[in-house]
Amino acid sequence: MKIRSCVGITKPSLLLVHSELPALTFHKTKLTWTSTLRFPSNYERTSGSVTRFHCNVAGRTGASTSVSSSSSKSNTVHLSRKQVKPSSLYSRPSLSNMKKERIANRAKVYEFLRVLGIIPDELDGLELPVTVEVMQERIDFLHNLGLTIEDIDNYPLVLGCSVKKNMIPVLDYLGKLGVRKSTFTEFLRRYPQVLHASVVVDLAPVVKYLQGLDIKPNDIPRVLEKYPEVLGFKLEGTMSTSVAYLVGIGVSRREVGGVLTKYPEILGMRVGRVIKPFVEYLEGLGIPRLAIARLIEKRPHILGFGLEERVKPNLASLLEFNVRKASLPSIVAQYPEIIGIDLKPKLLGQRSLIQSIIDLEPEDFGTVVEKMPQIVSLSNTSMVKHADFLKGCGFSLQQVRSMVVECPQILALNLDIMKLSFDYFQMEMQRPLDDLVAFPAFFTYGLESTIKPRDKIVAKKGFKCSLSWLLNCSDEKFKDRLNYDTIEMEEMETMPSFDMNSLMEPRSDESDSDYEEDSDDEYA
């Protein structure tokens, strides 16, 4: 039986209740007990001693007594119990120990990295493995991918990537797309941030967006290998604006996929800072905007030529080597690579070589570059062999020089074909060498497709004409010429030249073609 808030005296027949105790208020009463009093069921018949104890009712302390049986130790009221501090019930002293342990482990990991040669300063605040063993596992995995300590030190944040949660899922996804494992090392060197990416949230949407730009699924892996940074771009940012601008200047929409496949770096170029200034500069040079669009379709990498660092200085160098300013548009249109290479040393070297083999004047070198800008990248051995061939055919040094200035392409043609054409010229056509000196472009025409058929037709009709009248026209124009009563001199003297309008014709070839590595169309 339990009795609360009362004072009792153990008399055989009497229980007194202390009436002076205040009434309990339950809504705010705070009742604190140090023990529960238990009285034996036969307390009325049991004599015992009175024990005083204190109880706190509603914040007030009052005296009370209880009865303790002398016959049973189990009935003893425990009045005093060691008070427990509230803090001991809720504090966790192990947390501070755990914090100290984490700090100590991180210090060990940092020291481990320093010994390897990796500076861990950038790793502060980044979640890292708590043990050296796990960190060693990550470094070993990166080593197996071909990355060196230097590579890791260049981007130490990669050490925050879990092998199982980050690295393996990303690399598996790239492999399934078709990215070659042999390219993983260079891929990660250029864009190690990919290991932080989520396949579903970050990578897959970019791949889907690229396919929406008409890049074929089979070409996606090559695009990523060439330009892995594209995986970090926002879909509606630079990528969309650069493509929209190119279409706006005339790049065919059906060519966009091929352009981006050949040179995906365009996706990262800012229109206002890179693409637009480049296009406007060439346009100001005299190249029509549509012609620029066609150049970009064929050789999109020209957009990567630094305008201030490379393009403008190269054009200035051409002027220094006696190239006429009016010829600059034609030079760029014929050989756009000329504005992106380290040009001045090449100009110096080629001019010196040609001068040594055919005694070419510096002024004439400018004319040669205007007619065949590829001369700046022509093999020295090729030029020497071709000059020797012409000399061996009986041409004087002065005649060879005249022929080269008139048609510098003769220093770059297939030498075996040139020999066959010359043999036909001598044996069948039986013309004087001066005819070739006057029209050295004879060597640029196909022997079987053009020279022989036309020569036989003219011979059959008994015409006497120059090589220029015979060859320098289309098949349709040649048929018209055969109906002329006389041969006009201006048609005889016309030399082949580059036509800027030819660039602006719609391209029907190579459109929507499968991915192919671009080969430099330079002369051998």
Q: What is the pLDDT of residues 376-417, one digit of tens each?
A: 999 999 999 999 999 999 999 999 999 999 999 999 999 999
CB 83 within 8 A of CB 55: no
pLDDT at residue 40, as a whole number: 45
User: What confidence tier does 87 reach under pLDDT thresholds 50, 70, 90?
Assistant: very low
Residues contacting residue 476 through CB under 8 Å, at least 6 positions apart? none
Instruction: For residue 475, give its domain range.
Output: 413-497
Q: Tell me the range of 60-74, 129-143, 350-364, 482-496 where mean pLDDT is highest.
A: 350-364
CB 389 within 8 A of CB 357: no
Q: Which of 57-61, 181-185, 384-388 has the lowest mean pLDDT?
A: 57-61
Helical pair 362-371 and 343-358, crossing angle rounded to 10 deg:
110
Mean pLDDT of the chain: 81
CA distance 40 to 74: 10
* Token code pair at residue 188: 């990660």
Q: What is the CA radius of gyration of the chain?
A: 47
**Domain annotation covers residue 33:** no
Kindly tell me if the per-residue pLDDT of 521 is higher than 90: no
**Domain annotation covers residue 446:** yes
pLDDT at residue 77, as a whole number: 42
User: How far, in Å, are 50, 264, 426, 448, 466 from residue 456 at the CA level?
Assistant: 148, 51, 15, 11, 14
pLDDT at residue 304, as a whole number: 95
pLDDT at residue 487, as a whole number: 55
Dihedral-angle region of residue 394 (phi above 0 means left; psi in -120 to 50 means alpha; beta otherwise) = left
User: What confidence tier does 506 reach under pLDDT thresholds 50, 70, 90?
Assistant: low
As a whole number of Å, the end-to-end CA separation of the chain is 115
Kindly tell me if the per-residue pLDDT of 85 is higher than 90: no
Kindly tell me if the per-residue pLDDT of 468 is higher than 60: yes
pLDDT at residue 101, as a whole number: 74
Q: Which of 84-93, 296-305, 407-416, 447-456 has the lowest mean pLDDT?
A: 84-93
**Domain annotation covers residue 20:** no
CB 197 within 8 A of CB 158: no
**Domain annotation covers residue 91:** no
Kindly tell me if the per-residue pLDDT of 52 is higher than 80: no
CB 401 within 8 A of CB 387: no
**Domain annotation covers residue 195:** no
pLDDT at residue 432, as a whole number: 95
pLDDT at residue 71, as a whole number: 43
- Amino acid in the structure at residue 497: S
Kindly tell me if the per-residue pLDDT of 274 is higher than 60: yes
Per DSSP, helices labelled H in 160-299 are 168-177, 184-190, 204-212, 220-226, 238-249, 256-262, 276-285, 289-298
Total count of domains within the chain: 1
CA distance 331 to 337: 10
- Report residue 498: phi and psi, to 5°: -75, 135
**Domain annotation covers residue 400:** no
**Domain annotation covers residue 367:** no
Give the percent of the chain with pLDDT over 70.
Answer: 75
**Position with higher pLDDT, 488 vs 24:** 488
CA distance 488 to 465: 10
CB atoms within 10 A of CB 194: 24
pLDDT at residue 497, as a whole number: 63
